[in-house]
Chain A
Amino acid sequence: MSARDEILGRVRAALADVDTSADVAVPAAPRSAAPPGDVVELFLERVADYRAVVERCSVADLVERVRAALPEGGRVVVPPGLEIEIVGAVADDHLSAAELDAVDAVVTAARVGIAETGTIVLDHQPDQGRRALSLVPDHHVCVVRADQIVPDVPDAVTMLDPSRPQTWISGPSATSDIELDRVEGVHGPRVLHVIVVDP
């Protein structure tokens, strides 16, 4: 018998006492009470709690703010579909991992922001780039539109498309492995700079 058939057979035998016809529906997950005040402000506060850099600006100021957020004189890569003009940046064209490692910073858009947890979700569409792009460079500038910010995790989960790869980012790379204290900066970008832009 194949391993597959044997395992499925064992599962069925193990569950012989369970009456699945009377299966109880899973209760809907409770939603948290709407956060007091502005979700965008809560988002900024919660992202800042992870020791990320946060700021909020208007569309008119965006290009200038992004430029100022980048390390001076650094090499910058952007995803091919990013709709923000960044002078001197290279658009990602299947750069190798080693080439990405030689880049100082990356600028991407985002798919959704979660206020309650201060999380940014990328689903790696052309304005965010493939997964390696926002991972290997040490400095990530992420532009989130204010209207992309939702109150809580369930709102984000419903909006997201599971067929796309996703990266949920909450602050810069960190570890709690040494005496369970959070230390920023291990393998992912050590600087996360989030700019929320009001339309």
Chain B
Amino acid sequence: MSVTALIALAILVMLAGGFYAGRARAIQAVEGNTVRLHSLPNYHGYYVAIWTGLPALLLLLAHGMFADKVVENLTYAELRREASSLNVQLNDAIEADGAYESLRTEAVQLRGRAEAISADIQRLRNATGEDRDPELMDRLEAERLDALNAVTAADEAVLEREGELIARVAAEARAEGAPVRALAGFEVSQAPREQRQLFLADTLNIARGELPSRESRELVAAASIATRHQNQLRFLIGGMALVVALAGLARTRSQVEPAFRARNHVESLVTALLFLSSVIAILTTVGIVFSLLFESLRFFSSVPVSEFLFGLQWSPQIALRADQVGQSGAFGAVPLFAGTGLITLIAMVVAIPIGLLSAIYLSEYAGPRFRATAKPLLEILAGIPTVVYGFFALLVVAPAIRGLFTWLGFDDVATQSALSAGLVMGIMIIPFISSLSDDVINSVPQALRDGSYAMGATRSETISHVVLPAALPGIVGAILLGVSRAVGETMIVVMAAGQSANLTANPLESVTTITVQIVMLLTGDQEFDSPKTLSAFALGLVLFVITLIMNVVALRVVQRYREKYD
């Protein structure tokens, strides 16, 4: 068992001990007459236990989370110190090297030339009238491109020369029998950033006893340094945790006395815990929203908002090569909004009547026996994974619809159509609407029904004139929740509605939705800063705003309803 685990165990034992110590001391302080205590003995126990265990365990937790990073930094710093004399040697070698110097000067000169050409181009671009010379402009552009290529080549040459010098210094040091750790330090301090990170990651892997991506003498040497830091840190934190636990135990135990308000202290600790949990929940939400927002802003820096929101063509292409200008695709999201709207509309046309009527039947007509079986069954419908609905739509509903409409004389009925996706999505949403509406209808006070019956109204008159108006806000809330489900639904549409961004109102055509496009944009290997991938965040933001608005409205409506009948 590792030292940390042992210490954690010890702290848990102390925590339990602290509970009994606090309890016992409280009882002893009043000689068993616990009525004289301000708080029940258990509260004294909790109080001591919490202050014994909590800070120490938090310390261990922090150690577990951050130890690797700390060890890595300490190891890196030590490796650099080890390599300081070799680094000085390298600097000397570079300064003494004529070839390096001339390469550097050349690179600087080339850069100056490129900048001069850029300035010329800028001047020409600002010029007006006769001075404007397109031919000259083209020639200058070509020259600038050449100059930039030359700069890149020169920079590479400088780096290459530097690499040679590094290798030479390292070889000399090895030949002179320099310590391995100094060589390791030299390697890690002279390597480019990615290689340095890889080296340090491998070092820590070896120190942890895991398999590194490669092995070398230098890595093993560095790992031994890391192991030392790891152990030191482990013992330091472990010791601190034990001290903190003991101090907590001693201090809080001494606080226990009859008048001590342990109950209130425990209460405020519980409050703090609850607060912390909600803060975590809120922060996560805020974090997600902000990342959506920032990535969307990056997208909108390459594609204007107006084009995205009002453009009629959606064909996000990715440029295959960096110099392929004009290949960034069209990002007009209107076809997606229209597709989402069409499918949602079809789904609600199915779900609202069936859901509402079944809710009315269940709550007003069905006997208790039927209700007791039918309602759980409906709720099972809500528990079917949407991917199952998806292949139901694809394999059963879509062929049936195609068959039906072909038979009716329509030609070119797509296999994947808005209609099949919408129908199945509607079926998926029925239980939401019926179950929520049923609850709402049931909570309409019986007194209202009695009042209506006593006026001589029949049952259906009572339902349509009294019960439904009373339940209306709640029903609207249920419907809005259903709509936001439909808008956000992905699996069914991916499978049954297709991927072509047609701008159409014809339910027999294949359409695509916001969610489907997000899936399409982000699946497969993608670079993460092309407009194509970033547009997924913008779509996500739109989706988020739509559902947010609907949920807020739904909650408002339901709330207004509650105020009235509680």
Pair from one complex: no
